[in-house]
């Protein structure tokens, strides 16, 4: 599926995250998190899983995470992708 | 390096001094270290003349402070204090270097000292710190060896002479020209001078610094003229409004309230909540909510308690005024209501840090505590508690009375949310051990209550009352199931600080965080 | 036991707030209502729907009744809400702005279609309609009896006073009539009546008084928006000592009748019929939840 326009989802409240997506030639993921040291690996794995599940192979995906749990990460990425016309 | 009994690697020497690794909470005695009481030379002053030397600079000169010496201040003005910053600025202006700071604590406001550490004016911290100084030290961005001590441990180290203080600069909110002072009144009133009382007794030179010189005699006396060498006057000691830490309001967070309700249930089930009950809480929103429940239970059951203890808040003052306690032992006032009370009520007793919690004497007040509420930044499955560093590995908090009170109280209750911003607070290992698990009674989170093995009756009673009692490992598993298992933070081998247990042994170290 | 389980506290949780959602498993309320309607901005309806859906998926061991408040079916979101939420198996749908029996039947039909298509028992999902306009108050009994899925009527005072064109008062006389109408309709239909939220979180005494009032009227539960209100509401709904004693006598009488092999149960010479048994069991269940009795009621007793 394709990211056809810029989109954002989520908030900057604690336990939430913001997801920014925009079209790009290749896949690029950037993760910023208050718990990057302890949970960077799990966040990354979750992002990869959700992108794969939605068939996203190109695009620029940026996360600003405030300690969100996996379910919220998944939901916010899904919402951003849907808003970007990708799903 | 040697391993202490909790498995932490401890260097034999640190900043030129040798240390003993922590063994257990009980067996170390003063004799182990050949400790006597610190002494200072006897002096004779047959003049009745004023001791006012002038301002800070004149006082520093008069004190004979030299390169390589140790100074102290007290932290009763907490984040409103400006004396320590002003003293260090003057020390620098006089060209002095290589000074050690052995204050009772250092706060965020003292981040102003960082340039003087870089410059070599300050070269060691014989005390724990709150905020940026510790953060930069643990990031490896600032060089300054640091030994973190509890309130009781600091009193011990000063009284025993392990940390000899050359000059104590003691903020004196109500002071006369001959050196009598108290903290009860004046524009910088901070109430109890509990931490300063130790320095006043044991420092080689005592400088009373005041912004409120009153006609002789300044009564009632907390620190008396016969042990004060010099009086200095300044425009302002600081801002007493900032002695109120941000956390003296009852929590409104529903999870915090749930924790408080469980903690109150633990106190109720402990069997100590009856006439003669003694109790300590901190200032956190959850602690105060527990105090609220305790007050309600005492009211309803017409219980007359023995004493409230510790840093004192207006909440405890109200309980005293209501007759719920016989008295308060106050080492430090946490808000202006407590300051106002200690100045008028003889049952609101000023208490020195030595009386409060020094382990090497004939009995500290903490020994008489029934229940105490304590906080944590992390707890491990052996009930060890961290209050010094955060899960990021950064040294952000001083110990306060944590390990002293945990050791002293019959039931020490740690209240802590199970998760903070995805970080699990009950974990396999804590980043830093402040307080050993065998002195911790109960851990209370919103997901359940874990009772340590040395309190089987309490555990059985809580289960009988259908409280959510869980094995601490089960609690950890439930939390990890929500957050995922965290990757441990990586540290270098460079030890930049020691965490001292109250008896002077080393319970843990602080290493710099790997970037 | 969908019809009679305790619903003393039905807590609304905003559907687009992870910090609240993740604590849902920890709140000590009887039911939780994950809100996609009023608590969510129009621009965030899609986000909240995804968040609630993923949250329900992640919540493995549910320990309380789960409702989702969808948007009304005549909005552009209502049907999408259902499509997203039903696969996550909520216990029931909180149905806003239900003004007529026909509206309830429209939701009933949609739920039945989903159940049939997915091999679920027809009637699996419950409906809790919001009675929150003057028209719905007048239609309360028709709505209550329109489908067996409806296990209760929930009063919504904010929209009601707006539709009535009056301001909400603290004294509550503006709500007296709809409250009576709703509880009568619910009781006549044999279902529960759930009261509206009390919005002043700082005034626990007023909350207690209001809850005690509606309990006397016949309400069995109350909606709330702040978890801090849970304890007060539970205390207000706690059965009195004599109610508990009576309920225990009823249960004991049934036990003895079973032991004696007789189908007829009597207590002090009076016959104990099914509604009395049901009420006794409810009383004991709430008493246990409230810590007023030490052992849970043995519900098998109903089956002999």
Can you give the pLDDT of all 515 residues of chain B as single tens digits?
899 999 999 999 999 999 999 999 998 888 877 777 888 889 999 999 999 999 999 999 999 999 999 999 999 999 999 999 999 999 999 999 999 999 999 999 999 999 999 999 999 999 999 999 999 999 999 999 999 999 999 999 999 999 999 999 999 999 999 999 999 999 999 999 999 999 999 999 999 999 999 999 999 999 999 999 999 999 999 987 787 655 567 788 999 999 999 999 999 999 999 999 999 998 888 999 999 999 999 999 999 999 999 999 999 999 999 999 999 999 999 988 999 999 999 999 999 999 999 999 999 999 999 999 999 999 999 999 999 999 899 999 999 999 999 999 999 999 999 999 999 999 999 999 999 999 999 999 999 999 999 999 999 999 999 999 999 999 999 999 999 999 999 999 999 999 999 999 999 999 999 97
Superfamily of segment(s) C9-237 = Phosphoenolpyruvate-binding domains (3.20.20.60)
Beta bridge partners of B495: B511
What are chain B's partners, defined as 3 or more CB pairs within 8 angstroms?
Answer: A, C
Q: Which residues from chain B sit within 8 angstroms of residue C27, using beta carbons?
A: 254
Q: Which residues from chain B sit within 8 angstroms of residue A14, using beta carbons?
A: 421
- Taking an 8 Å cut-off on Cβ atoms, the answer to whether B466 and C227 are in contact is no
Same-domain pairing of B289 and B361: yes
Between A and C, how many CB-CB pairs are < 8 A?
48
Q: Which residues from chain C sit within 8 angstroms of residue A54, using beta carbons?
A: none
Neighbour count for residue C282 (Cβ, 10 Å): 18
Same-domain pairing of B228 and B284: no
- Taking an 8 Å cut-off on Cβ atoms, the answer to whether A69 and B423 are in contact is no
Residue B377 to residue B423: CA distance in whole angstroms: 10
Question: Do the Cβ atoms of B320 and B308 come closer than 8 Å?
Answer: yes
**What average pLDDT does range A45-70 have in this prediction?**
96
Neighbour count for residue B367 (Cβ, 10 Å): 14
Same-domain pairing of B367 and B450: yes
> Which CATH number belongs to the domain containing residue A43 in this structure?
3.30.230.10
Establish if A1 belongs to a structural domain.
Answer: no
- Taking an 8 Å cut-off on Cβ atoms, the answer to whether C19 and A16 are in contact is yes
C1 pLDDT exceeds 50? no
Same-domain pairing of B230 and B265: no
Same-domain pairing of B236 and B265: no
Residue of C nearest to B259 (CA): C26
Residue C224 to residue C229: CA distance in whole angstroms: 7
Same-domain pairing of B331 and B453: yes
- Does residue A49 sit at the C interface (CB-CB below 8 Å)? no
Same-domain pairing of B359 and B440: yes
Question: Do the Cβ atoms of C68 and C125 come closer than 8 Å?
Answer: no
Question: Which one of B188, B210, B243 terminates a domain?
Answer: B243
- Taking an 8 Å cut-off on Cβ atoms, the answer to whether B252 and C228 are in contact is yes
Beta bridge partners of C33: C12, C67
The answer for residues whose C-beta is within 8 angstroms of residue C118's C-beta and 6 or more apart is none
Which domain covers residue A42, as residue numbers? 7-83
Same-domain pairing of B113 and B211: yes
CA B230 and chain centroid, separation: 27
Establish if A52 belongs to a structural domain.
Answer: yes
Chain A: closest CA distance from residue B483 (Å) = 6
The answer for residues whose C-beta is within 8 angstroms of residue B182's C-beta and 6 or more apart is B172, B173, B174, B193, B218, B219, B220, B221, B222, B223
Same-domain pairing of B260 and B237: no
Q: Which residues from chain A sit within 8 angstroms of residue B483, using beta carbons?
A: 39, 69
Residue B16 to residue A66: CA distance in whole angstroms: 42
> Which CATH number belongs to the domain containing residue B132 in this structure?
3.40.1080.10
C44 pLDDT exceeds 90? yes
Establish if B400 belongs to a structural domain.
Answer: yes
Same-domain pairing of B45 and B171: yes
Beta bridge partners of B310: B330
- Does residue C63 sit at the B interface (CB-CB below 8 Å)? no
Establish if B1 belongs to a structural domain.
Answer: no
Q: What are phi and psi of B451, to 5 degrees?
A: -110, 130
- Does residue C291 sit at the B interface (CB-CB below 8 Å)? yes
pLDDT at C255: 82
Same-domain pairing of B306 and B199: no
Q: Which residues from chain A sit within 8 angstroms of residue C22, using beta carbons?
A: 15, 69, 72
- Taking an 8 Å cut-off on Cβ atoms, the answer to whether B421 and A67 are in contact is yes
pLDDT at B242: 81
**Torsion angle defined by CA atoms of residues B478, B481, B482 and B486, in that order, rounded to the nearest 10 degrees:** 110
pLDDT at C273: 80
Domain total in chain B: 2
- Does residue B483 sit at the A interface (CB-CB below 8 Å)? yes
Residue C96 to residue C154: CA distance in whole angstroms: 9
Question: Do the Cβ atoms of B502 and B357 come closer than 8 Å?
Answer: yes
Same-domain pairing of B202 and B322: no
What are chain C's partners, defined as 3 or more CB pairs within 8 angstroms?
Answer: A, B
Q: Which of A14, A17, A39, A74 to mutate to test the interface with B (most CBs of B within 10 A)?
A: A39
Question: Do the Cβ atoms of A21 and A81 come closer than 8 Å?
Answer: yes
3-state secondary structure C58-83: HCCCCCCEEEEECCCCCCCCHHHHHH
Nearest to C181 by CA among C146, C147, C131, C130: C131
Establish if B4 belongs to a structural domain.
Answer: no
Q: What is the ipTM of this complex?
A: 0.96
Residue of C nearest to B464 (CA): C294
Which domain covers residue B396, as residue numbers? 254-491
Establish if A63 belongs to a structural domain.
Answer: yes
Alpha-helical (H) ranges within C66-123 are 78-85, 101-117
- Does residue B446 sit at the C interface (CB-CB below 8 Å)? yes
- Does residue C228 sit at the B interface (CB-CB below 8 Å)? yes
Establish if A42 belongs to a structural domain.
Answer: yes
- pLDDT per residue over B458-514, tens digit each? 999 999 999 999 999 999 999 999 999 999 999 999 999 999 999 999 999 999 999
Domain total in chain A: 1
Q: Which residues from chain B sit within 8 angstroms of residue C22, using beta carbons?
A: 482
Q: Which residues from chain B sit within 8 angstroms of residue A70, using beta carbons?
A: 484
- Does residue B421 sit at the C interface (CB-CB below 8 Å)? no
Q: Which of C50, C60, C88 to mutate to test the interface with A (most CBs of A within 10 A)?
A: C50
Burial C97-115, CB ≥16 within 10 A → b, else e: bbbebebbebbbebbbebb
- Taking an 8 Å cut-off on Cβ atoms, the answer to whether B254 and C227 are in contact is yes
Q: Which residues from chain A sit within 8 angstroms of residue C21, using beta carbons?
A: 72
Give me the residue spans of the domains in chain C. Answer: 9-237, 241-303
Nearest to B445 by CA among B265, B299, B259: B259
Establish if A2 belongs to a structural domain.
Answer: no
- Does residue A35 sit at the B interface (CB-CB below 8 Å)? yes
Question: Which one of B216, B243, B270 terminates a domain?
Answer: B243
- Taking an 8 Å cut-off on Cβ atoms, the answer to whether B421 and A69 are in contact is no
Strands A7-10 and A17-22, sheet pairing: antiparallel
- Taking an 8 Å cut-off on Cβ atoms, the answer to whether A15 and C46 are in contact is no
Establish if A76 belongs to a structural domain.
Answer: yes
Long-range CB contacts for residues B340-348, cutoff 8 Å, separation at least 24: B341/B312, B341/B314, B341/B317, B342/B184, B342/B191, B342/B192, B342/B312, B343/B184, B343/B185, B343/B189, B343/B191, B345/B320, B345/B321, B347/B320, B348/B312, B348/B317, B348/B320
- Taking an 8 Å cut-off on Cβ atoms, the answer to whether A79 and C19 are in contact is no
Residues written for chain B: 515
- Does residue C23 sit at the A interface (CB-CB below 8 Å)? no
Q: Which residues from chain B sit within 8 angstroms of residue A42, using beta carbons?
A: 484
Mark which residues 139-198 of B lie under 8 Å from C by CB: none
Establish if B513 belongs to a structural domain.
Answer: no
Which of C26, C231, C291 comes nearest B446 by C-beta? C26
- Taking an 8 Å cut-off on Cβ atoms, the answer to whether B482 and C227 are in contact is no
């Amino acid at each position: 599926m394709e990211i056809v326009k810029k989109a954002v989802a989520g908030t900057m409240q604690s336990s939430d995250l913001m997801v920014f997506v925009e079209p790009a030639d290749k896949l690029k993921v950037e993760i910023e998190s208050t718990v990057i040291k302890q949970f960077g690996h799990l966040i990354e794995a979750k992002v990869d899983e959700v992108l794969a599940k939605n068939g996203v192979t190109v695009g620029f995906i940026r996360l600003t995470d405030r300690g969100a749990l996996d379910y919220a990460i998944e939901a916010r990425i899904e919402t951003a992708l849907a808003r970007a016309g990708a799903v | 390096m040697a391993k202490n009994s909790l498995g932490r690697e401890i260097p034999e020497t640190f900043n030129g001094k040798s240390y003993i690794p922590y063994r257990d909470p009980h067996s170390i005695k003063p004799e182990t270290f050949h400790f006597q009481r610190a002494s200072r030379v006897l002096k004779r002053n047959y003049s009745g003349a004023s001791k006012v030397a002038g301002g800070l600079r004149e006082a520093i000169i008069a004190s004979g402070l030299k390169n390589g010496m140790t100074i102290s201040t007290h932290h009763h003005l907490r984040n409103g204090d400006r004396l320590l910053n002003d003293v260090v600025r003057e020390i620098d202006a006089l060209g002095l270097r290589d000074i050690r700071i052995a204050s009772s604590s250092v706060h965020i406001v003292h981040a102003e000292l960082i340039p003087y550490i870089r410059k070599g004016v300050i070269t060691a911290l014989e005390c724990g710190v709150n905020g940026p100084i510790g953060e930069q030290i643990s990031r490896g961005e600032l060089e300054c060896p640091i030994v973190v001590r509890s309130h009781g441990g600091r009193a011990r180290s000063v009284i025993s002479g392990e940390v000899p203080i050359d000059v104590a600069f003691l903020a004196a909110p109500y002071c006369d020209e001959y050196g009598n002072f108290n903290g009860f009144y004046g524009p910088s009133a901070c109430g109890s001078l509990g931490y300063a009382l130790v320095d006043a007794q044991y420092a080689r030179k005592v400088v009373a610094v005041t912004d409120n010189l009153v006609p002789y005699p300044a009564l009632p006396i907390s620190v008396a003229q016969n042990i004060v060498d010099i009086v200095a006057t300044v425009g302002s000691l600081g801002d007493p409004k900032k002695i109120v830490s941000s956390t003296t309001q009852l929590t409104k967070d529903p999870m915090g309230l749930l924790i408080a309700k469980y903690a109150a249930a633990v106190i109720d089930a402990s069997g100590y909540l009856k006439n003669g009950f003694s109790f300590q809480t901190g200032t956190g929103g959850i602690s105060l909510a527990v105090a609220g429940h305790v007050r309600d239970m005492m009211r309803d059951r017409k219980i007359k308690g023995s004493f409230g203890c510790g840093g004192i808040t207006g909440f405890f003052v109200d309980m005293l005024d209501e007759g719920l306690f016989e008295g308060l032992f106050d080492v430090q006032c946490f808000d202006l209501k407590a300051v106002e009370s200690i100045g008028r009520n003889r049952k609101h007793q000023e208490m020195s840090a030595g009386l409060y919690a020094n382990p090497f004497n004939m009995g500290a007040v903490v020994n008489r505590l029934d229940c105490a509420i304590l906080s944590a930044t992390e707890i491990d499955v052996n009930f060890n508690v961290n209050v010094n560093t955060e899960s990021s590995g950064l040294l952000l908090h001083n110990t306060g009375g944590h390990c002293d009170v945990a050791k002293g109280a019959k039931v020490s209750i740690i209240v802590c949310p199970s998760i903070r911003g995805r970080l699990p607070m009950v974990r396999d290992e804590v980043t830093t051990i402040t307080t050993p698990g065998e002195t911790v009674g109960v851990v209370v989170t919103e997901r359940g209550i874990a009772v340590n093995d040395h309190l089987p009756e309490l555990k059985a009673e809580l289960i009988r009352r259908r409280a959510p009692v869980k094995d601490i490992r089960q609690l950890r598993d439930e939390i990890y199931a929500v957050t995922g298992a965290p990757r441990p933070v990586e540290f270098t081998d460079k030890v930049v600080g020691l965490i001292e247990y109250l008896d002077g042994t080393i319970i843990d170290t602080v290493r710099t965080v790997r970037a | 036991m969908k019809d009679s389980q305790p619903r003393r506290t039905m807590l609304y949780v905003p559907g687009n707030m992870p910090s609240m959602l993740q604590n849902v498993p920890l709140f000590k309320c009887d039911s939780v209502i994950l809100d996609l309607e009023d608590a969510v901005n129009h621009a965030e309806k899609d986000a909240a729907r995804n968040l609630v859906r993923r949250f329900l998926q992640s919540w493995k061991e549910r320990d309380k009744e789960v409702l989702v408040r969808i948007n009304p079916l005549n909005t552009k979101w209502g049907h999408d809400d259902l499509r997203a939420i039903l696969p996550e198996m909520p216990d029931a749908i909180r149905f806003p702005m239900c003004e007529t029996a026909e509206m309830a039947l429209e939701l009933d039909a949609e739920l039945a279609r989903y159940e049939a298509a997915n091999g679920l028992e027809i009637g699996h999902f419950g409906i809790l309609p919001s009675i929150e306009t003057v028209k719905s108050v007048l239609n309360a009994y028709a709505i209550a009896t329109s489908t067996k899925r409806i296990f209760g009527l929930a009063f919504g005072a904010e929209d009601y006073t707006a539709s009535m064109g009056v301001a909400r008062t603290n004294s509550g006389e503006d709500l007296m009539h709809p409250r009576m109408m709703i509880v009568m309709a619910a009781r006549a239909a044999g279902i529960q009546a759930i009261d509206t939220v009390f919005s002043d979180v700082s005034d626990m005494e007023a909350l207690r008084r209001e809850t005690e009032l509606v309990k006397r009227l016949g309400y069995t539960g109350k909606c709330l928006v702040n978890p801090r209100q849970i304890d007060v509401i539970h205390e207000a709904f706690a059965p009195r000592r004599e109610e508990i004693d009576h309920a225990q006598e009823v249960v004991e009488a049934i036990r003895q009748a079973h032991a004696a092999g007789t189908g007829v149960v009597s207590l002090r010479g009076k016959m104990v019929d099914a509604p009395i048994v049901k009420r006794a069991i409810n009383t004991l269940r709430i008493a246990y939840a409230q810590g007023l009795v030490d052992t849970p009621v043995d519900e098998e007793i109903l089956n002999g």
